[in-house]
Amino acid sequence: MGVYNIQFLFLIAFCLRTVVGHGDHTCGRGWTVFNGNCYYFSTSAVPLKDALVYCHGLGANLLELQNAEEENWIDLHCRIRGYRYGVWLGICDHQLEGKFVSISNGKGISYSHWIRGEPNDYRSNEDCALYWYTLKGWNDTPCSGKINYVCKKAK
């Protein structure tokens, strides 16, 4: 391929980028930016472990909500995207029942927004958690459930 053709391809790429205008190129294609972080929204609902593997493969972590502002933004996306329940949260209480910690670093969480009566560890089988957008809060749930997910990485 000659130099001229390569320049032409660059021109096309540049024009497409201008026309399409979606996303942020420091995050990569398919990512959405919010407050300095990059978010990837799933198109399928999967068990928690699959969501963790998928996010890891993208060089990201499963979403760990940090504050109400981020939660409201995620809520909006759940609605826009028509998610059935909501999204997985990157927290679990495998090690000590009732004490939810970050899956990415094992530390306690500084922000939480449990629905009233949750976490309830229903049938002693709820060690994972989701943001349940129809009830606008968090619920612990079995890790084997199939739920949409969001991967998050720093910009």
Using the contact rule CB under 5 A, the part of the chain among 26-34, 42-50, 51-59, 117-125 near Ca ion is 117-125
DSSP structural state of residue 124: G
Using the contact rule CB under 5 A, the part of the chain among 21-29, 63-71, 88-96, 102-110 near Ca ion is 88-96
Using the contact rule CB under 5 A, the part of the chain among 41-49, 68-76, 108-116, 131-139 near Ca ion is 131-139
Q: Which helix (H) or strand (E) holds 134?
A: none
Binding mask 46-85 for Ca ion (x = CB under 5 A): ----------------------------------------
- 67's CB contacts (< 8 A; 6+ apart) are 111
Among the listed residues 93, 109, 113, 145, the single contact to Ca ion using CB under 5 A: 93
Question: Left, alpha or beta for 30 (phi > 0: left; psi -120 to 50: alpha)?
Answer: left
In angstroms, give the least distance from the CB of 19 to Ca ion.
Answer: 46
* CA gap 124, 120 in Å, rounded: 8
Among the listed residues 95, 120, 134, 144, the single contact to Ca ion using CB under 5 A: 120
**Residue type (1 letter), 99:** K
